Amino acid sequence: MQCRIAATGLKTQFGAIAHRPGMLLVTISRYGVRSFVVVCLALALPMWASAQFGSYWPSASPNLKYDGQWVFTRLRYHPSSSWNHDYPRADRHLASIIADLSTARARTNGSNVLDLGDPEIFRHPLVYMSEPGFWDMTDGEALNLRQYLLKGGLILFDDFETTQWNNMAAQMRRVLPENHWIEINVAHPIFHSFFELKKIDYDHPMFPGMVPDFKALFEHDDPGGRMLALANHNNDLAEYWEWSDTGLFAIDPTNEAYKIGVNYVIYSLTH
């Protein structure tokens, strides 16, 4: 399957499940409507279950040994397993896009899963957290995250909706009590660090009509200063990344989700 990046015309080979035009019509004519429905359900249910409850890999694969290259680094938290939603396919798909489209040295043969208290997070300029509405941490982890952010790191929160914001915000008050969330829009430099984005308010992939909002924490609460944390609220970029090789979601919003993700990575490497 080819994941097309509309802005550049480049094509990235993922080599996963094929999505062939005309395949479903052949299935209907050969097996009949009833069999077609059964086939569709058989294909859709694993995707739906994975989208709702996390990907097929509930535990983390071995981390990559640090060698100076960029690695997609995901944060794990306990006791919830919600941290693994879209793992590892989303992580590795975005890394492949980074490697193909930019000159950044990105590892495409794996990704990292780290605990907040792990000193290894200091080797990575961007760390990603899924479903922070279910996140909890120890005081030691809160202190380690604070030190990471103040020393130049950036944390990205993704895949959470509506009142799940409250838990994420409460946890971040333990980390940076002196900072306040500031809403940002497409004019912010992070949306122009690689791709020149004109629009960022694409629908949530699982909840049509839910328009995302983007908020960030900045040093000294200055939106012109260094970004410490970024929240994709009412959004799920990784859902688009995970299923980009299957045709589950439309090409346009999938492309935009990738472009936003690429911009985040390039911004974290250059600011």
Q: Give the total number of structural domains in the chain.
A: 1
- Among 141, 88, 125, CA closest to 265: 125
Please give the C-alpha separations between residue 143 and each of 112, 114, 179, in angstroms, as whole numbers: 21, 15, 15
Q: What is the pLDDT of residue 6?
A: 37
Q: What is the pLDDT of residue 60?
A: 78
Task: Give pLDDT tens digits for 79-96.
Answer: 999 999 999 999 999 999
Q: What is the pLDDT of residue 43?
A: 33
0.85 surpassed by pTM? no
- Pairing type for strands 11-13 and 2-4 reads antiparallel
Q: Note down the domain range covering 78.
A: 2-270
* CB-count burial class (<10 Å; 0-12, 13-18, 19+) for 108: middle
Q: In this structure, how many other beta carbons lie within 10 angstroms of the beta carbon of residue 50?
A: 18
pLDDT along the chain (271 residues), means of 10: 36 30 27 29 38 49 95 96 96 97 96 97 98 97 98 98 98 98 98 96 93 96 97 97 95 96 97 91
Q: What is the pLDDT of residue 4?
A: 39
- Among 52, 51, 71, 55, CA closest to 63: 71
CATH number at residue 209: 3.40.50.12140
Strand partners, 70: 106
